[in-house]
Chain A
Amino acid sequence: METPEDALARQYKELCIEFAGGMPEKMAEIDAGLVSLGRAVDAPAILAALKIIEAAAHRLAGGGSTFGFPQISRAAGPLASGARKLGREAAPDAAAAAAALSPLADTLRALVANPGEPQI
């Protein structure tokens, strides 16, 4: 008979795999945010793009460490905090923001493409 601990371990593993399967979708949100950032012509559009990037990166950072992908968390955390910081600037600059965030996104994208097995 399955104990609660066994059941949790089984379901947790399923959630880890599910999270890994959802990472490309979250990365796509980040990429869409970067595209929007590149096209943004005013402060509201820049802030909206930064919010998209921050939110998706934050989810990857939080979930990565929880579901056995600490390398994803380590790469997504700086992207989320970078987007958040840029969004607090009085006069955000789209080109500067994209230049600052794109390398972080590149690193994350490479890791999302090959996340490996969850470390649980």
Chain B
Amino acid sequence: MAKELKRILYVDDEPDIRSVAKMSLEMVGGFTVLICASGAEALQKATDFAPDLILLDVMMPQMDGPATLAALRQLPALATTPVLFFTAKVQSDEVEEFKKLGAIDVVAKPFKPMQLPQTLREIWENAIKA
């Protein structure tokens, strides 16, 4: 039986966006969510949290999303954990670039809070089938 999506690590420097995404993922999605405000914080906490999926903002100060992904990949426990970029950069060429960096897909900003959990589940299920 395919693994169920339960635990999500979400990294975003924007407190307003973090608040609404966390509410959406926990209240509607029923996920266990760890929120980190920076790539550095994610690197400190990700291994212990053991996420099924990582949702990464792209534009963050200091360590941006791609740099955070590269650093997370150096952690043995997270070497293969699926990563999604969460960004307004969703032109097809931009999405392809993100996939080349190792993301399984991209979730568009702005997002509809009611639909975000379902979006993640669909991506997760497609990734498992692939």
Residues of A within 8 A of B (CB): 4-5, 7-9, 11-12, 15, 18-19, 22, 55, 58-59, 62-63, 65-67, 70, 73
Contacts and interface: CB of A to CB of B under 8 A. Distances in A.
A55 B61 contact: yes
Residue among A4, A70, A73 with the highest chain B CB neighbour number at 10 A = A4
Interface string B1-20: 00000000000001011011
Given A62-B88, A63-B14, A63-B16, A9 B114 contact: yes
Contact of A8 (B17, B28, B59, B110): B28
Contacts of B88: 62, 65
Nearest to A64: B110
Chain B binding surface SS class = loop
Given A12-B23, A55-B61, A59-B16, A66 B28 contact: no
Interface of B: 14, 16-17, 19-20, 23-24, 27-28, 30, 59, 61, 88, 109-111, 113-114
A74 to B, nearest CB: 12
Chain A binding surface SS class = helix
Given A12-B113, A58-B59, A66-B110, A7 B27 contact: yes
Residue among B14, B16, B17, B109 with the highest chain A CB neighbour number at 10 A = B16
Contacts of B17: 62-63, 66
A47 B30 CA distance: 43
B15 to A, nearest CB: 9
